């Protein structure tokens, strides 16, 4: 089977310090693929490399999307091919309504998801209360994350990278998040679900454990979760890896 995404021997060094090394990852069409890793192992860096963000060009290896080498492709071109990213802490925008924000995402997407209103409902936000609200600081952290996921749903992407969609989310909202992730996959998208919680990873079809900037194992999410729980320890350098620091600049 042709993979949607292949990372082949990807390496990334920042300031001479390796963040990702010999990383190999293969994501299948329509699968939910969890990336499990402790803080500081390079999870968000991996997301940035796949999306092609500034400062995250691999120093070695290749990023292949649907058989095409996109290693040197700029962010908008990746988005137009159907790749998108939901940040762990999404940006806020003054003067832009939720509806406008979601419509911007639909403009250049090769697919087409449900309407903005339907997508909001899927993440448990009533459209009549949220479509005209601004995507600014008046939304709580949890609301903003759910709006982000709704916007991804409405784009009908081919590959969604979700960076810790569960962080900062209350227990009730979590079920909406997981339902939305399943809907994305049901609609044909592959989902790269980045998390450090076994419970979230268990909802995936497959999982990979990331440690020290490389993929250690890939397989059944429960088995990978067990491996993660039994073997992974907090990195001695914590979350102060240069790559993580860059992300949160």
Does residue 109 bind another protein (CB under 8 A)?
A: yes
Does residue 94 bind another protein (CB under 8 A)?
A: yes
Residue 188 Ramachandran class (φ > 0 left, ψ -120 to 50 alpha, else beta): left
Q: Which of 9, 68, 69, 108 binds another protein (CB under 8 A)?
A: 108
Q: Which stretch in 71-79, 167-175, 206-214, 224-232 sits in contact with another protein by CB under 8 A?
A: 71-79
CB of 46 vs another protein, minimal distance in Å:
15
Q: Which stretch in 32-40, 46-54, 190-198, 229-237 sits in contact with another protein by CB under 8 A?
A: 46-54
CB contact at 8 A, 3 and 59: no
Q: Which of 1, 2, 16, 107 binds another protein (CB under 8 A)?
A: 107
Task: Mention every residue, 6+ apart, whose C-beta is less than 8 A from residue 21.
Answer: 11, 212, 213, 214
Instruction: List, edge to edge, every strand of the sheet that includes 68-69.
Output: 17-27, 5-14, 60-65, 68-69
Other beta carbons within 10 angstroms of residue 107's beta carbon come to: 8
CB of 141 vs another protein, minimal distance in Å:
15
Nearest to 35, CA basis, from 149, 240, 247, 204: 204
| Rg, the chain, Cα only | 17
Does residue 155 bind another protein (CB under 8 A)?
A: yes
- Report how far residue 35's alpha carbon sits from residue 48's, in angstroms, rounded to the nearest whole number: 14
CB of 217 vs another protein, minimal distance in Å:
29
Q: Which of 91, 230, 233, 236 binds another protein (CB under 8 A)?
A: 91
Site for another protein, rule CB under 8 A: 51, 53-54, 74-76, 78-80, 83-85, 87, 90-96, 104-105, 107-109, 151, 155, 249
């Amino acid at each position: 089977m042709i993979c949607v995404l292949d990372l082949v021997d990807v390496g990334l060094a920042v300031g001479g310090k390796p963040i990702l090394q010999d990383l190999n990852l293969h994501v299948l069409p329509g699968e939910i693929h969890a990336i499990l890793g402790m803080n500081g192992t390079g999870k968000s860096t991996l997301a940035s490399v796949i999306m092609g963000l500034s400062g995250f060009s691999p120093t070695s290896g290749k990023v292949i999307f649907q058989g095409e080498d996109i290693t040197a492709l700029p962010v908008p071109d990746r988005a137009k091919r159907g790749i998108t990213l939901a940040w762990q802490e999404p940006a806020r925008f003054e003067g832009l309504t939720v509806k406008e924000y979601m419509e911007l995402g639909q403009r250049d997407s090769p697919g087409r998801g449900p309407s903005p209103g339907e997508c909001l409902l899927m993440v448990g936000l009533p459209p009549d209360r949220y479509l005209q609200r601004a995507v600014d600081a008046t939304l709580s952290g949890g609301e903003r994350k759910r709006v982000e996921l709704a916007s991804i749903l409405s784009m009908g992407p081919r590959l969604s990278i979700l960076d810790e969609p569960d962080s900062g989310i209350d227990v009730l909202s979590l079920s909406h998040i997981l339902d939305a992730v399943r809907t994305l996959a049901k609609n044909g998208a592959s989902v790269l679900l980045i998390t450090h919680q076994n419970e979230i990873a268990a909802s995936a079809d497959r999982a990979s454990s990331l440690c020290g900037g490389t993929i250690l194992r890939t397989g059944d999410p429960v088995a990978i979760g067990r491996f993660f729980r039994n073997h992974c320890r907090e990195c001695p350098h914590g979350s102060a890896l240069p790559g993580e620091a860059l992300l949160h600049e």
